[in-house]
A and B are shown apart, each in its own frame.
Chain A
Amino acid sequence: MSDDLIERVRKSIATSKRIPLETVAIDSDFQQLGIDSMDAVEILFALENEFDINIPDDEVRSVRGVRDMCVGVEKLLAAKAAAAETQAGQ
C-alpha cells in the first residue's frame, strides 16, 4: 500500500467527516472516529470520486476501519488498472 493512497484515503475521511486529518490514523476504527452508517456512505461517495472507482455494497460490509478501507481501495484500483490494460491490449 503506497503512502500516497493512505494519505488520500485519510484526507477523504477527514474532509467528509469534518475532523482534523491528524485524528484519522491508519489504525483508527470507524467507531472510535464516531463514524455512523450515514457518515460511512458519504465517505464511500468521497472515495469513489477521489479515485474514480465504483465501490460495490458487498465490498464494504466488512470494512470497520481506515486500514480495511485502504486495502479495499487498493484492490479496486488494481482491478481498474487490469481492466484498462485488457482494454488497451485489445
Chain B
Amino acid sequence: MRRVAITGLGAICALGRTTAEVAESLRQGRSGIAPIESTDASQLRFRNGAEVRGYSHQGYFDDRRADFIDRFAQFAVIAAREAVTCAGVEWTPELREAAAIITGSCVGGQSTEDVGFHDVYKMGLNRVHPLTIPKTMANAGASHISMEFGITGPSYTISTACSSAGHAIGQAFWMVRNGITDLALAGGSEAPFSFGILKAWEAMRVVSPETCRPFSRDRRGMVLGEGAAMLVLEPLEAALARGAKVHAEIVGFGMSADACHITQPSADGAAKAMRAALRDAGLSAEAIGYVNAHGTGTLANDATETAALKAVFGAHAGKLAISSTKSMHGHALGAAAALECVATVLALRDGVLPPTANYNLPDPDCDLDVIPNQSRQAQVEWAISNSFAFGGLNAVLALRKA
C-alpha cells in the first residue's frame, strides 16, 4: 500500500475565494455568516447564510462557457484550478489518461432547476431552457473538471448529503493508496441558495434564526453555506520525487451507516465511522490531537457527536482539541467535508487550530474542549475530520502532518 500525499489545495466559500484567504479567516476566527444576498429571504424564518458574497462568473469563465455551468459546478472548477496550480501538476498524456476525479454534491444545480420549475409551474410557460438538465445534474462538477484539464480517467460523483465530499475524498484516497490511479482530484461543491431549497430547509426546523453556535448551550441550529474545496492526491513517494510540496497526508478513511433514522443522528453510527477510520490508518485513539467536528450547531448533532467522541476516545476525549468550522463557513452540505478537510490540513500544516466561532455558553452535554472563539497555536501530528449525514451515512477521514 502506498502512502498518500495531499499536494494541492483549492477552496472557495464564505471565508474567501482562495485557500490562503480561507486560512486567514480561520486563523482569525472570522465568521462568513451574514444576511442572505443571492435570494430574497424576506419570506423565510431565517435570514442568514454563508454565501460567496458578490460572486459573479466574470473573471473565472467567459460568458458563453458560464451559460453551461451552474454556480455549484463553477465553484467546483474554480477550486480544482487552484488545487492543480497549487500542486504544480505536470500534465502528460499518460497522467491525463490515468487521473481520477471524484466530487461530492448533495443537491446539484438547484438554482437552475428552480428557474425551470418556476417557468412551467408559476409562469405557465410551456418550455424550460434546454440546458436545465446538464446544469442541474449533480455530476456536472466532475464533468466540467474533466473537460477543464482533459482528464479521461475514472470520474464520478458521490451524493451522501452532508458526507458527500467525505466519501469522495475517502474513495480517492483508497484509489491512490491501492495503485488504481497516480493522481486524484477529489472534493465537493454546493450552491444551495435557491428559494425552493431554503423553504425546504425552513420546514425541517433545523436552521438557526440567527447565527451558528456549535456546542454552545444557546445554539439554535445550522446555517447553510456554499462553496467548494478540492484536493490533489498522489502517492507520497512520487510527490517527494518530483519535489512537490506535501501539505499533509491522508492516512485513513472510515464509513458507516446508522441504520436508525432518516434525520436523527446516532452516536453508535458516528462512533463506528471514527473507529473505522482509526483502524484503516492503523492508529490508536490516543494518537489523535485535533478533531474537525461535524458540529452542525443543532441541538441533536452536537450532543450526539460529543457522546460518540467520548465512546471512541474514552479518557483521551478530554485531551482532544475539537472545533466546528461550520461556525464560520456554514454548512455547505455536499462541499462541507471538503472545506473541513482543507481546514484540517491547514491546522496540521500551519500549527494553528481553527476555533469554534460564535461560542457563548458551556453545555453540559457538549463538555469537551471545542476551542471557543480563538484559534490556537499547536503542533498536532494526527487529526480526524468527521461528517455525519442526514440518512445516517457517515464518513471520517484521518490525516497526518507532513
A interface residues, Cβ below 8 angstroms from B: 36-38, 41, 44-45, 56-57, 60
Contacts and interface: CB of A to CB of B under 8 A. Distances in A.
Contacts of A41: 203-205
A44 B261 CA distance: 19
A37 B45 contact: no
B264 A37 contact: yes
A38 B209 contact: no
A44 B220 CA distance: 18
Pick the 9 closest A-B CB pairs, nearest first. A38-B263, A41-B205, A57-B205, A45-B203, A37-B264, A41-B204, A36-B264, A38-B262, A57-B45
Contacts of A38: 261-264
* Majority SS at the chain B contact face: loop
A71 B264 CA distance: 27
B300 A37 contact: yes
Interface in B208-223: 209, 220
A38 B209 CA distance: 19
A44 B205 contact: yes
Contacts of B264: 36-38
B209 to A, nearest CB: 7
Nearest to B221: A57
Interface string B234-261: 0000000000000000000000000001
Contacts of A45: 203
A29 to B, nearest CB: 18
A57 B222 CA distance: 14
A37 B205 CA distance: 10
Contacts of A36: 261, 264
